Structure 1
Amino acid sequence: MEWVIGFVKQLYAAAITFPLLSFVVLWLGFYAIYLNKRKAMLLTIDVTCLLLFGAVAEKLISVFSFSFAYYFLLIVSLLLFGWFGNLQYRKRGKVNSKKIISVMLRLGFFVLLGCDLVLGAIQWFL
């Protein structure tokens, strides 16, 4: 059982070290399963966003010695979830959590990808 946990840890470490490579591999896998480019792209963005969450947190820790990076990103995500929920409630009168989560994952993908690239450049120059 320990080798399974070790393998998962190594796989996760490799995935957050190279998130764009993970994006391509995941897209190819989802496209092979669903044979639908749009669905494969959306699922890949959702999964890669979770990988980017870990990658950005680790780069914040290594570049700025920001020890509570995971908690900071989690708090910002929860605040944005509440803000999007408030906007949706004011517009429609009800909250659709599934739609809010999908919007946050897709918007978070682009924001976290930008943060990952900027932090990677800073880390490379230091």
Structure 2
Amino acid sequence: MGAIWGSIEWLYTILAVIPILPFAIVLFVYGAYIRDRKKAITMAIDVSNAFFILCVAALFNILFDNDFGLYGILLVMIIGGGLLGNAQFRKRGTVDVKRVFRAVWRMSFFAMSALYVVFMIIMLGRLLFTVA
């Protein structure tokens, strides 16, 4: 049982450190299965966003030497959902929670992708240019 759990941990670690891998895997496997490129891209975005969130939170915690990364990301997502829900309520009179959640989740994918690139560049620069 320990070997199976170790393999699962190893696989998750690889996928979390390089969140582009789950995106590519889901895009190609799911795309080959359903043969609809648009659905494959949205599924890849939805799946890989969880890995991007966890990776960006970990990079934030390492860079700024605190434990607020994941909580900050979730706080911004909740505030964004509240703002979108309020705008939807003012425009339509009702709130479609599923639609608001999907919008926040997909917008956070693009924000997390950008933050991932920025934080990785900073981490690599810090790793390469720090004098020991």
TM-score (norm 2): 0.87
Matched residue pairs, number? 126
Question: Unaligned 5+ residue runs, structure 2?
Answer: 127-132
Superposition misfits of 4+ residues, deviation over 6 angstroms: none
Question: Unaligned 5+ residue runs, structure 1?
Answer: none
Q: Compute the RMSD of aligned alpha carbons.
A: 1.4
Q: Distance in 1 between matches of 2:4 and 2:85?
A: 38
Q: Distance in 1 between matches of 2:66 and 2:33?
A: 39
Larger Rg: 2
CA contact under 8 A between 2:22 and 2:44: conserved in structure 1? no
- Write the deviation string for residues 51-98 of structure 1: whole angstroms up to 9, x where unpaired: 110010011111111212111111111111111111111111111111
Q: 1:6 to 1:88 in 2, by over 3 A?
A: farther
1:98 equivalenced with 2:120 (yes/no): no
Structure number with greater CO (CA < 8 Å, separation at least 6) is 1
CA contact under 8 A between 1:85 and 1:95: conserved in structure 2? yes
- What's the % identity of the aligned pairs? 28
* Partner residue in 1 for 2:29: 29
* Partner residue in 1 for 2:7: 7
